[in-house]
Amino acid sequence: METANSPSFPMLATWQARTANIPQPVRRLLGFAGAFALALILFSVVLLALGKDPIAAYEQIYLGALADDYGRSEVIVKMIPFILCALAVAIPAQVGLVNVGGEGQIYIGALFASVVALAFGDLPAPILIPLLVVAGMIGGGLWAGIVGILKAYISLNETICSLLLSYIANLIVEYVIHGPLKDPGGSNWAYSARFSDNAILPMFGDTRISLGIIFALVAVGVYFWVLNYTRWGYKMRVIGGNAEAARRSGIQIKQYIIMTMIIGGAMAGLAGMVEVTAIQERLRGGISNGYGYIGFLVAWIALQRPVGILLIAAILGIISVGGDWLQIGVNLPASTVNILMAFILFFILRNQGMQKKEA
């Protein structure tokens, strides 16, 4: 078998030789930058093939996301669900689980929070908002807990199970907004009644940045602390590193499978709660906009590391917000940026694989 040092891989061998003496953290940073640059180059090729000017496209992304206070604030708005959904993936990943069901957990968390908001809207905000937070987290946690239980006791593949449950969650929300929770005084559009002002998350200044950003940052901080400074975090890493060794040492693996799925789902459920109480101000269909899947990208690109999650969430937030301007500037669908996100994921994961082989 040919190796990276064989003549068939001269460029890779040269790269390895030149970077051999560079400290590992610097090499990782350089590898990330190189992978990101390759993604931008390949996306430029796609734009050229479509007859579009890549420079104009990148300029529109910059103008939409970073050129003014509104764009920058919208990036932070996008980061909230990206961070929380990334945690929904990162936490179960510590024990070797792949949670692709963030979308469904968002919907069920939003549904639970909406029921509480509509039923107890007269409560003062200092009491109601914590209830909404708890409701959203319970909803997402219970939905992900189904996956954890099925994985722990009948070894059902959690990737497929969590993904399929997302479709069911979407249908459940569609049912309730067309039926039990439909606003009787609204138009023919299916959505719930608007929440009371007490159930709306406070905003910072004149922006759409809500209290949800505090929830997201606190969640990342707690994740970092638990993972690195608690017995739970240590056992999670042991299970993820070698499940058989963990079992022989007496660690209750089934409990950790269920627990990490529930906690991860609670993070996605919290994202759903923030979406309906800060952005939509009511329950409606299609509230997620793919946040669960983008959170999956964030977690895997960041290698489930807390600081990396914040960084990648910011980068994908910029791309997501700036992508809306592609329709205006270069007459491309806003969803075109999903191609760029896919390229970023591909090249960064490829770079991570190369670094593991070198190690």
Q: pLDDT tens digits for 247-271? A: 888 899 999 999 999 999 999 999 9
Weakest mean pLDDT among 29-33, 121-125, 268-272, 349-353: 349-353
Q: Residue 291: how many CA atoms within 13 Å on its side-chain side?
A: 28
At 274-295, the pLDDT tens digits run 999 999 999 998 888 889 999 9
Judge whether residue 357 has pLDDT over 50.
yes
Closest CA to 174 of 81, 296, 275, 288: 288
Six-digit token pair at 79? 């980061």
Task: In whole angstroms, give the CA distance from residue 179 to residue 157.
Answer: 33
Q: Considering just the CA atoms, what is the radius of gyration of the chain in Å?
A: 22
Six-digit token pair at 319? 């791309």
Q: Would you state the pLDDT for residue 356?
A: 61
Closest CA to 276 of 186, 201, 184, 351: 201
Q: Which residues pair with 284 in a beta bridge?
A: 191
Q: Please, is 273 exposed, middle or buried when counting C-beta atoms within 10 Å of its C-beta (0-12, 13-18, 19+)?
A: buried
Q: Would you state the pLDDT for residue 6?
A: 45
CATH 3.40.1350 is held by the domain 38-358: no
Taking residues 45-69, report their average pLDDT: 88
At 160-207, the pLDDT tens digits run 999 999 999 999 999 999 989 988 876 777 889 999 999 999 999 889
Q: Would you state the pLDDT for residue 31?
A: 76
Q: Would you state the pLDDT for residue 2?
A: 45
pLDDT band at 72 (very low <50, low <70, confident <90, very high): very high
Q: Would you state the pLDDT for residue 354?
A: 64
Taking residues 23-51, report their average pLDDT: 83
Q: Would you state the pLDDT for residue 228?
A: 92
Pseudo-torsion of CA 184, 203, 72, 63, nearest 10°?
40
Percent of the chain scored above 70 by pLDDT? 90
Judge whether residue 17 has pLDDT over 70.
no
Q: Would you state the pLDDT for residue 3?
A: 46
Q: Would you state the pLDDT for residue 177?
A: 93
Q: Which residues pair with 210 in a beta bridge?
A: 203
Dump the DSSP string for 99-120: ---HHHHHHHHHHHHHHHHHHS
Q: Would you state the pLDDT for residue 33?
A: 82
Q: ∠357-358-359 over CA atoms, to 5°? A: 90
Judge whether residue 60 has pLDDT over 90.
no
pLDDT band at 355 (very low <50, low <70, confident <90, very high): low
Taking residues 123-150, report their average pLDDT: 96
Average pLDDT of the chain is 88
pLDDT band at 4 (very low <50, low <70, confident <90, very high): very low
Closest CA to 35 of 342, 324, 336, 306: 342
At 304-351, the pLDDT tens digits run 999 999 999 999 999 888 887 887 777 888 778 888 888 888 888 777
Task: In whole angstroms, give the CA distance from residue 130 to residue 299.
Answer: 27
Task: In whole angstroms, give the CA distance from residue 140 to residue 88.
Answer: 10
At 82-94, the pLDDT tens digits run 999 999 999 999 9
pTM of this prediction?
Answer: 0.88
Six-digit token pair at 322? 């700036």
Task: In whole angstroms, give the CA distance from residue 304 to residue 25.
Answer: 16
Task: In whole angstroms, give the CA distance from residue 231 to residue 252.
Answer: 13
At 204-243, the pLDDT tens digits run 988 999 999 999 999 999 999 999 999 999 999 999 888 8
User: Does 50 or 112 have the greater pLDDT score?
Assistant: 112
Residue with tokens 């940026």: 337
Q: Residue 76: how many CA atoms within 13 Å on its side-chain side?
A: 16
Q: Would you state the pLDDT for residue 14?
A: 58
